[in-house]
Amino acid sequence: MSAFSLEGRNVLITGAAGGIGSETARVCAELGATLVLADIEEPRELAAELRERGATVSTYAFDVADRGANERMVAEQSRVDAVVANAGTLSWEDWEEDHWDQAFERITDVNVLGVIHLARACLPRMYRQGGGNMVIVSSVAARMGGLRAGPHYVASKGGVHALAKWLARRAAPHGVAVNSVAPGATVTPMTEGRGYEASSIPMQRLAAPREIALPIAFLCSDAASYMCGATLDVNGGVYMG
């Protein structure tokens, strides 16, 4: 079996209905994974598509900012071999606008606290199973202060980078590898119509979601067996570490 195979693994993905999440589900299904797909609304269409191609899929609807909902979903799983903390949100208001503080709180709740809730639910389960992988989807915004996104989003993703390292250090002695993928501008509903310029990217184009999904799937596999606390920068050359 290839080291990249996810055959026989239960892979849980949040934000699975979105651009990067749905493509991650497709790639993981191609690699043989059994999938648990979660989003604010059940990703039923995607699940039907993947089942048609032979994958075993279950779906959940919950807000990742709700700790109890994360825990209930994980409690229903027989195994969790890999978890992809991909759900994320972004809003575009200026920090001089009245409701910016509320937007900051919501973005922090989803992008940072949501990852913590998911990790707190999944990691003890993986420890008991003897190992696993967690992949956190952060952003190039954490590296360079954001191409177009505001300070609330940028701060949340910067927090996620530090958090990924904290989680990695804590989980590694239990056989669980935590790593992150930091995408650059990717063609998804999050960036649509927001004026991202291909000409500002050395590779002269935005990423296709599959180009982010493949590195995420790699970090869920044995091919990444000695990776711990790493951030894979997948950004067409916008940021070179």
Q: How many residues bind ligand NAD (CB under 6 A)?
A: 27
64 in contact with ligand NAD (CB under 6 A): yes
Q: How far is the CB of 121 from ligand NAD (least distance, A)?
A: 14
Q: How far is the CB of 187 from ligand NAD (least distance, A)?
A: 7
Considering the complex, state which of residue 19 and residue 132 has its C-beta at the smaller distance from ligand NAD. Answer: 19
The tokens 């990444």 sit on which residue?
224
Q: How far is the CB of 94 from ligand NAD (least distance, A)?
A: 19
What span, in angstroms and rounded, lies between the C-alpha atoms of 82 and 36?
10
Query: Which residue's CB atom is positioned nearest to ligand NAD?
Result: 18
Task: Give the DSSP H or E segment for 44.
Answer: helix 44-52
Question: What b/e sequence results for 180-198 when a residue is b if at least 16 CB atoms lie within 10 Å of its CB, and e otherwise?
Answer: bbbbbbbbbebbeeeebee
Question: Applying CB under 6 A, which part among 49-57, 82-90, 126-134, 222-230 lies near ligand NAD?
Answer: 82-90
Give one DSSP letter per residue of 86-144, joined into a string.
---------TTSTTHHHHHHHHHIIIIIHHHHHHHHHHHHHHHHT-EEEEEE--THHHH
> Restricting to residues 182-221, which ones interact with ligand NAD according to CB under 6 A?
183, 185-186, 188-191
Catalytic residues: 153
> Restricting to residues 128-147, which ones interact with ligand NAD according to CB under 6 A?
137, 139
Structure tokens at 58: 């279950």
Q: How far is the CB of 76 from ligand NAD (least distance, A)?
A: 17
Sign of CA dihedral 155, 121, 173, 13: negative
Considering the complex, state which of residue 15 and residue 159 has its C-beta at the smaller distance from ligand NAD. Answer: 15
What span, in angstroms and rounded, lies between the C-alpha atoms of 158 and 171?
20
Residues in contact with ligand NAD by the rule CB under 6 A? 14-15, 17-21, 39-40, 63-65, 86-90, 110, 137, 139, 183, 185-186, 188-191
